[in-house]
Amino acid sequence: MSRPVSEYALGDFRWLATIRTLAEGVAAIALAMALRRERAAALLLVVVGLLKLAIPLFPVDALGMPATPAGQMHNVLGNVTFFLFPLAALLLFRALRRRGSRLAPGIAVVLAIATVGVLVGNAVGGFGLAQRAYLILSALWLLFAA
């Protein structure tokens, strides 16, 4: 659990990693369509969704191997979605609260904190675990925001 989840795409679980990433993309776009009146947040969710759908086209570089253009694009797409997703969640805080969601707004705040936690985890050698916490919170937010 010390390595990024993207590395699952390099092994026997490639198919599962691809399905997970595609499901995140489809879920973000579907939620954006449902919340389209919240224009800024919906736009961010569409961007996140489209980038998530593109990520499997650019495999991550294996640990210790030279960087490839595909691996670099994977990192760019992953980093952009990493920062945009919690921003979209925070932008939807009030709208979801108005719609009666009790959990999604709170999860959005915890997700934003977890985003900082991933950065700290990367600095101290705990990236993999912090990233998994972030991804679990992302999935929970999507579930409760829907």
Confidence of residue 2 (pLDDT cuts 50, 70, 90): confident
Chain center to CA of 120: 17
The CB-side HSE value for 121 (13 A sphere, CA atoms) comes to: 19
Give the ranges where the chain is alpha helix by DSSP (H): 14-34, 39-54, 69-91, 93-98, 104-124, 127-145
Q: Which pLDDT score is estimated for 107?
A: 98
The single-letter DSSP state of residue 59 is P
Q: Which pLDDT score is estimated for 37?
A: 96
Retrieve residue 86's tokens: 């919690």
Q: What is the pLDDT of residues 9-29, one digit of tens each?
A: 999 989 999 999 999 999 999
Contact assessment for residue 115 and residue 134, using Cβ atoms and an 8 Å cutoff: yes
Checking if the pLDDT of 146 tops 90, the result is: yes
* Domain of residue 132, residue span: 5-145
Name the phi and psi angles at 34, rounded to 5. -70, -30
Contact assessment for residue 5 and residue 48, using Cβ atoms and an 8 Å cutoff: no
Sign of CA dihedral 128, 87, 107, 20: negative
95, amino acid identity: A
Retrieve residue 53's tokens: 């759908």
Domain count, the chain: 1
Retrieve residue 114's tokens: 């977890």
Checking if the pLDDT of 1 tops 90, the result is: no
Average the pLDDT over 40-60 and give the result.
97
